[in-house]
Structure 1
Amino acid sequence: MSGHVASAYCTSPFAQSGQPAFCLVWDGGIVPRLYHVERHHARHVDCLFPVIGHIYAAAGHHFGPYKKPGGARWDLGVAGKLMAYIALGSVDEDIVEVFRELYQARFAGDTERAQAYRENIHSADASLAAVGEFFEASALRLEAKPPEDVLASFHVFLERLLVHEMGIALQRHSIAGPKNLCIAGGCGLNIKWNSALRASGLFDAIWVPPFHNDSGSAIGAACCALAAEKGFVPLEWSVYSGPALKGCQVPPGWTASTCSIAELASILASSKPVVFLAGRAELGPRALGGRSILAAATLPTMKDHLNDIKFREHFRPVAPICLEDRAPTIFSPGSPDPYMLFDHQTRAEWREKIPAIVHLDGSARLQTISRTSEHPVAQLLVEYEKLTGIPLLCNTSANYHGRGFFPDAASACAWGRVERVWCDGLLLTRTGLSPSVDEILFATSPFEDR
């Protein structure tokens, strides 16, 4: 807990300016907890409501395409997929009311069941069992409802609950000073909740670090040590502080040639996806142009093509990476979002121009980057804009299915799902027809969840 609070605040603009901030921590195994952080002090303010973060993923174990026999398990990987899947559904207020009634009866109210649940909320097994029973009771009342509507409605139920209870907590604990918020814990990956808090007007500014889940554990430990010695002071950091690229030989079946950023932009403009490896890897779970697969967003078929490459479901969106100064004309709000952590709507006049990055509900998980940035991906976007007039590209992570980023070009070539790999000025092009690693793994895998 302390690591989440320290890493979120010490990396924030609020620490840089010496301003205090609230910090919301909501992780898979804990209820949402609100803290207040100042330079020399941090304190717990409130528990917002008695629901563990894992309940969102658990909903997917009971409804929809990820439904599992036996219901809720400690499988957090479903949560991000559900954020995409709910775009297939519509919010049904009758379903929302069912969840509200069961929430009161089983978690938050004065019933014996709810009181017993809260008494055992720190027991992981007891909490998971209670969540499973909650959804079993829900399913009995929602048998006739489409699963996509059930999950869309459950998402909105939790979103409203979060914003409402946050407002009550701020009223209950009147703390003078700026109303800034840092968000930490795995639930910080829910860009729609982040955006709902930002749109609520409860806060002057919101900060979500790119490593808010357990990927920020090391930074959290370092920030705790720093806080113990100097207080909650700002940390010097960069999101591109992961492992450097390893050197490698050109693999068999591939050729290599030098390739400038301008030449690469021309390749992308011809609608050919490219694995883009530049400098150090990103911190956190998001590919932000250091370990990415990039592609033109102008073809309607590109989203499906990239999802096929990544063995992902057809409804999963592909994110745009866009020059920051052009983003407001293409997206709403289109405000700076360097770590892909808020929800944006694609403006109507742009949806047919860049269909590959438009989600089913018109939204986009936007990443922005300044055109003056020295990072190669920014330079690439500038060159691509010169050729096409489009200041953005499709961006998805370059990695083996379910694993970390590629450590070198040879790993991307061994994966083999994209025929071109650009690595710090060198373009590797596939010439052989040998099967990729993932093709071999998936041909023999007993697992259905892709």
Structure 2
Amino acid sequence: MDQVPGVILGLCSFTHDSAAALLVHGKLVGFVEEERLSGQKHTREYPHHAIAWLLGRAGLAPTDVDAVAYNFQPARYLAEVPASARLLLSSATRSRALPRATGFAKVAVRTQRRLQYLRREFPRARVVPVLHHRAHQLIAFAASGWHEAAVLVMDSLGERQTTTVAHGHYAERPCIRSLEEIRDPASLGYVYGAVTEHLGWRRGDEEGTVMALAALGDAARFRPVFARALRTTATGFVVDPAYFPPRALHSGYPRISPLFTTDTCPPRNPEEPPQQVHQDLAAALQERTEQVMRHLARRAHRVTGSRRLCVGGGVATNCVSIGRIVEEGIFDEVFVPPAPGDAGTAIGAAIAVHADTGSRQPLEGVARACYLGPSYPQPHLDLTRRPGLKQKMLGGEAAEFLADQLAQGMIVGLFQGRVEAGPRALGNRSILASPLENGVVERLNATVKFRESFRPFAPIALAERAGEFFTLGQDAPYMSMASQVTAKAREQIPAVVHANGTSRLQTVTAQQNLFMHDVLQAFGRRTGVPVLINTSLNVRGKPICGTPEMALDCLATSGLDALLLEGRWITK
């Protein structure tokens, strides 16, 4: 660039999980996923609402933007077009060679058109395409706040890459040195999504449901299938095309082969309850995923020599596998950013442009930050459209009041402060309940979240007392790691212990979230247990509530008992 850009807009758009981030002279003004403002879960639409909020917060106009960082590079897709000819060498892949080549070519053209669209939206800005995995690497490393770490990114597909190992270090700005890569069609995200769809859930949305179902199954039944389908190598892994044909990036080309169906089971009808065979298939998939992810983590340690690991990409949301990596002790500490999936690459892409243009401005507001979206400190609430709701204002004892209601068995929505980044509610857009109440999990699943009865609920715990109940041995601020539990947890709070003996833990410090810390302390004084159930403020099929109106709708249409919305106690 001719000059160092002071205002950088980072975008994830047109694919899924649209989001926007804004850096102004190196400081992160904010980040928000479009779904939190539009109400459309996993939206791929251009993030109009997110961009408008960011520019408004900074007091800027679109003409003030110096650079737009986009999270894909179209030219990288084109490189796969001639490379697809290698599929002609095997009878198992020959039929996919031409559709794969044309599919990658079409995506390259489509991505170039998206860049042209952005140039029209921001005519005074330079639009910079950023390598997808580099965007993942930078947000994973920069968000850790560490000066040095191994960086492992695993997703379904970023241009041609599916898995990368890099070394991160911090000089004047975060720097990433890529060391190894695995290219498509070897893709953990592709395999997990394909089996999720085969099991009757939405690929790209409900992989977490399959991970939960896995705890109920016996992996031994289909272990040989996945040992053949996902084979580890000295430097990574390969996928057997006889089970998972190479992707074509065209609709109408299945991701599951007839051989896979023959060796496992027919596709499940989403309307039918899962059977034992589905549980066993999920268990085998999850077990093999954990084995491959641990293998990749060991490889990252070997090639970097680092004692710390940052993990990014959509596969990093597999909290059970991340917990297994922590337990193995390969690294002293493991970090997953609050938004490890594609939405977070909006921040990563902006950081890439900031770093590449030689800015001397230090990066601010990224390290250990998760509350990055809009807040509504004094919302105007019109309850006349919802005549069944009533409200009262709470004073300075809101934390004590909330803890008391939770201790009495109420299930309460909490809407406070800025919207969280990433797929987990972290105490600002949460549904809270006591883990000591009989039948609380069943009630939450059936009448509040409207989801499958086998789905577990995560605990949120005081960081300073988490060791009494969970054995993870490190902080887990973003609910991204599954931990084994202690005997005390099994005895006192079995509601947050899943069938596999783990809990997807979130630890909270006063520095991270003072109000939530106060609530946990107050609940602990009343019950002796400073742990609550924490799930996202939404119902199935809807995104986490980003606005007061969305939160009121959630209260009105679900089995929530009450909503604490910025100091207002709202009940039915």
Query: TM over 0.5: same fold?
Result: yes
In the TM superposition, residue 320 of structure 1 has moved relative to its aligned partner by 0.9
Provide the rounded CA distance (Å) in 2 between the counterparts of 1:373 and 1:37: 24
**Which residue of 360, 374, 380 maps to 1:248?**
380
Could you tell me which amino acid in structure 1 is paired with residue 264 of structure 2? L
1:238-387 paired onto structure 2 within 5 Å: 238-245=369-376, 247-251=379-383, 252-259=387-394, 260-308=398-446, 309-333=448-472, 335-371=474-510, 375-387=514-526
Q: Which amino acid aligns with 1:35?
A: A
Identity across aligned pairs (percent)?
Answer: 29
Q: Does 2:165 align with 1:34?
A: yes
Letter in 1 for 2:180: D
Distance 1:313 1:334, change over 3 A: farther
Shift of 1:196: 2.2
Aligned AA (2:452) = E
Question: 2:498 aligns to what SS in structure 1?
Answer: coil
Aligned-residue CA RMSD (Å): 3.0
SS in 1 for 2:180: strand
TM-score (norm 1): 0.81
- Cross-structure match for 2:229: 102
The alpha carbon displacement at 1:363 in A equals 1.3
| Residue matched to 1:424 | 566
Report the equivalent of 2:310.
182
Following TM superposition, by how much is the alpha carbon of 1:202 offset from its aligned partner in structure 2, in angstroms?
A: 3.0
Q: Match for residue 124 of structure 1?
A: 249
The amino acid that maps onto 1:179 is R
Contact 1:90 1:148 in 2 (8 A): yes
Matched, 1:162 2:293: yes
Residue 104 to residue 324, structure 1, CA distance change in 2 (3 Å): closer
Distance 1:419 1:409, change over 3 A: farther
Q: Which residue of 2 aligns with 1:59?
A: 195
CA distance in 1, matches of 2:165, 2:327: 19
Separation in structure 1 between the aligned mates of residue 190 and residue 491 of structure 2, nearest angstrom? 37
Distance 1:108 1:405, change over 3 A: closer
Shift in Å, 1:232: 11
SS at match of 2:168: strand
Aligned letter for 2:249? A
Does the residue aligned with 1:275 lie in a helix, a strand or coil?
Answer: strand
What is the rounded CA distance, in whole Å, between the counterparts of 1:279 and 1:148 in structure 2?
Answer: 39
Which of residues 233, 236, 245 in structure 1 aligns to 2:365? Answer: 236
> Residues 372 and 282 (structure 1 numbering): CA distance in 2 closer, same or farther, change over 3 Å?
closer
Check the 8 A contact 1:292/1:397 in 2, yes or no. yes
Give the Cα–Cα distance (whole angstroms) in 1 for the partners of residues 192 and 544 of structure 2: 26
How many residue pairs match? The answer is 405
Query: Residues 408 and 108 (structure 1 numbering): CA distance in 2 closer, same or farther, change over 3 Å?
Result: closer
The alpha carbon displacement at 1:355 in A equals: 2.8
SS of the aligned residue for 2:176 comes to: strand
3-state SS of 1:53 partner: helix
Please give the alpha-carbon distance, in whole angstroms, between the structure 2 residues aligned to 1:222 and 1:194. 26
Q: By percentage of residues, which structure has more strand?
A: 2
Give 2:181's aligned residue.
Answer: 47
Q: CA separation in 2, counterparts of 1:284 and 1:428? A: 26
Give TM-score scaled by structure 2 length: 0.65
The equivalent of 1:439 in structure 2 is none
Deviations 1:107-157 (A, max 9, x none): 96799x68x97xx67x5349x957412xx3233123598221122112111
Structure 1 pair 354–428 and aligned structure 2 pair: CA distance change class (3 A)? same
1:385-408 residue CA offsets vs partner (Å, 9 max, x unmatched): 111111011111112533333234
AA of the residue aligned to 1:289: G
Residues 6/235 of structure 1: CA separation in 2 closer, same or farther (3 Å cut): farther
**Partner residue, 1:138:** 260
Q: Is the 8 A contact 1:223 1:235 kept in 2?
A: no
Tell whether the 8 Å contact from 1:28 to 1:186 is kept in structure 2 after alignment. Answer: yes
CA contact (8 A) 1:250 1:410 kept: no
Q: Residue 32 of structure 1 aligns to a residue in which SS?
A: strand
CA distance in 2, matches of 1:360, 1:306: 17
- Structure 1 residues 255 and 26, CA, compared in 2 at 3 Å: closer, same or farther? same
Aligned to 2:545: 406
**Does the C-alpha gap of structure 1 residues 45 and 294 become closer, same or farther in structure 2, counting only changes over 3 Å?**
same
Query: How far apart are 1:383 and its partner, in Å?
Result: 1.2
Letter aligned with residue 533 of structure 2: C
Q: 1:163 to 1:110 in 2, by over 3 A?
A: closer
Q: Which residue does 2:37 correspond to in 1? A: none
Output the amino acid matched with 1:426. R
Change (3 A) 1:156 1:369: same
**In structure 1, distance between residues paired with 2:238 and 2:471:** 38
Structure 2 CA distance for partners of 1:46 and 1:253, relative to 1, 3 Å: same
Q: Check whether the contact 2:400–2:519 (CA below 8 A) recurs between aligned residues.
A: yes
> Which deviations, in whole Å up to 9, do the C-alpha atoms of 1:370-424 show, x marking residues without a partner?
2565531111111111111110111111125333332344432333121311112
Q: Which residue of 2 aligns with 1:441?
A: none
Structure 1 residues 429 and 3, CA gap change in structure 2 (3 angstroms):
same
CA distance in 1, matches of 2:238, 2:490: 45
- After superposition, what is the alpha-carbon deviation per residue over 1:79-99, rounded to whole angstroms, capped at 9, x for unaligned? 11111111111220x622222
Matched position secondary structure for 2:215: helix
Contact 2:373 2:418 in 1 (8 A): yes
| Aligned equivalent of 2:204 | 76
Classify 1:130/1:299 alpha carbon distance in 2 versus 1 (closer, same or farther; 3 Å): same
Code of the aligned partner of 2:406: L
Q: Deviations over 1:277-336 (max 9, x none)?
A: 111111111101000111111023101111121111000011111111111111122531
Query: Any conservation in 2 of the 1:276–1:421 contact (CA below 8 Å)?
Result: yes
1:224 counterpart residue number: 352
CA contact (8 A) 1:3 1:220 kept: yes
Classify the secondary structure of the residue corresponding to 2:219: coil
* Distance (whole Å) between structure 1 residues aligned to residue 338 and residue 452 of structure 2: 25
Cα distance per residue 1:160-206 (max 9 Å; x no partner): 123224435654x4x45x33221111111001121222233333322
Distance in 2 (alpha carbons) for counterparts of 1:247 and 1:149 = 48
Deviations 1:334-358 (CA, angstroms, capped at 9, x unpaired): 5311100111122233224223212
AA matched with 2:181: C
Query: CA 1:169–1:320 in 2, change beyond 3 Å: closer, same or farther?
Result: closer
